[in-house]
């Protein structure tokens, strides 16, 4: 039986129309464009309107990925959505995306791994395809982080934005004997729940929504920036090195690194430790901020559409986020 390798057949992304600049934020909290730019590299971010929910953005990104792959919605066998800002507690956001695509029987479920979520979902989809169970899987990373952002907290509100990205993962019957096989070459997923206090959002079974929780502002996303910075740089480097080793490649083989867009300083520090110039990383944080599980697929789609990645090129995706989670995936386009 030939090895079934999952390949990326199409990419897509969607972003809200509204831009929230650093100058706009300076009118809301004590901050400035210079202060934000110097510390994060972010100049503006997109903010979802009332009618732009996580599923709405996710569906638009999915449609664009399907178009790029040359597939109709009915040809999709499974939908996975990585998100920490779901449409509702239940049903899953993936179910709403399926409905908006006109699908009534296709299995669909969500996966929560914060900023590592898309890589987790990509690897999960890849395993389904490698097993032979499904041939075409839609993998979406979609977030409306603005819905859980405290715009009175200058330490966090400057970081986040909304958006969605998607890929169509397709089964390839390409022989495993190929010297340069396309598709998902390796993936590495990790988590340590002991570090949950570095990035968290409380409402849930441990902390049910209540007036006291809301009065304390604990319905919003919280993070400890300094600790997260150190952790992220270390794991970024580690995940790139582990990923290419598992794929039997070297850094010289990698055309582009696609990191989670958390902070430009993290990306710059990690790339320096890897001995790579910053232009070997796909960076769009200046325009979109941190969009959690959506950031990697948005950056991937932009890289493909800008001609920075072509068929046969190797890319390394790296995610680090709440959980704590950290992950990487190596693909040949």
Provide the annotated active-site residues.
115, 260, 290
Q: Which residues of 163-196 are buried (b: 16+ CB within 10 A; e: fewer)?
A: bbbbbbbbbbeeeeeeeebbbbbbbbbbbeeebe
Unique residue bearing structure tokens 């604990």? 218
- Cis peptide leading into 117, omega within 30 of 0? no
- Rounded CA-CA distance 190/52 in Å is 32
- Asked if 9 contacts 69 with a C-beta cutoff of 8 angstroms, the reply is yes
**Nearest CA among 172, 186, 167, 175 for reference residue 76:** 167
CB atoms within 10 A of CB 9: 20
What is the number of other CB atoms lying within 10 angstroms of the CB of residue 105? Answer: 6
Structure tokens at 44: 């503006």
Separation CA 238–CA 232 (nearest Å)? 10
| Residue 145 near residue 85, CB atoms below 8 Å | yes
Rounded Cα distance between 83 and 92, Å, is 10
- Backbone phi, psi, residue 145, to 5°: -65, -25
Measured over the CA atoms of residue 154, residue 156, residue 162 and residue 165, the dihedral's sign is positive
Neighbours of 115 (CB within 10 A): 33
Instruction: Report how far residue 333's alpha carbon sits from residue 327's, in angstroms, rounded to the nearest whole number.
Output: 19
Classify burial at 275, counting beta carbons within 10 Å of its beta carbon; exposed 0-12, middle 13-18, buried 19 or more: exposed
């Amino acid at each position: 039986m030939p090895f079934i390798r999952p390949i990326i057949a199409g990419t897509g992304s969607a972003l809200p129309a509204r831009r929230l600049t650093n100058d706009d934020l300076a009118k809301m909290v004590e901050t400035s464009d210079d202060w934000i730019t110097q510390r994060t590299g972010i100049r503006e971010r997109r903010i979802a309107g009332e009618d732009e929910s996580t599923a709405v953005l996710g569906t638009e990104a999915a449609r664009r990925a399907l178009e790029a792959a040359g597939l109709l919605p009915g040809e999709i066998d499974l939908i996975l959505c990585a998100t920490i800002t779901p449409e509702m507690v239940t049903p899953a956001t993936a179910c709403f995306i399926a409905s908006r695509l006109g699908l009534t029987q296709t299995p669909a479920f969500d996966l929560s791994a914060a900023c590592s979520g898309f890589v987790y979902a990509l690897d999960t989809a890849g395993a389904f395809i490698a097993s032979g169970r499904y041939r075409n899987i839609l993998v979406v990373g979609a977030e409306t982080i603005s819905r859980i952002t405290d715009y009175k907290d200058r330490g966090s509100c400057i970081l986040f934005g909304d958006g969605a990205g998607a890929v169509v993962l397709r089964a390839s019957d390409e022989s495993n004997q190929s010297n340069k096989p396309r598709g998902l070459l390796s993936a590495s997923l990790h988590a340590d729940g002991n570090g949950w206090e570095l990035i968290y959002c409380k409402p849930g079974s441990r902390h049910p929504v209540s007036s006291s929780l809301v009065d304390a502002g604990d319905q919003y996303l919280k993070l400890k920036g300094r600790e997260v910075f150190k952790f992220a740089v270390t794991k970024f480097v580690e995940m790139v090195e582990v990923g290419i080793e598992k794929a039997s490649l070297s850094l010289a083989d990698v055309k582009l690194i696609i990191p989670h867009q958390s902070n430009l300083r993290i990306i710059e520090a990690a790339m320096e430790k890897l001995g790579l110039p910053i232009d070997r990383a796909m960076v769009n944080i200046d325009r979109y901020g941190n969009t959690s599980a959506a950031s990697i697929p948005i950056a991937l789609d932009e890289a493909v559409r800008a001609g920075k990645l072509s068929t046969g090129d190797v890319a390394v995706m790296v995610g680090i986020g709440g959980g704590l989670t950290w992950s990487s995936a190596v693909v040949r386009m």
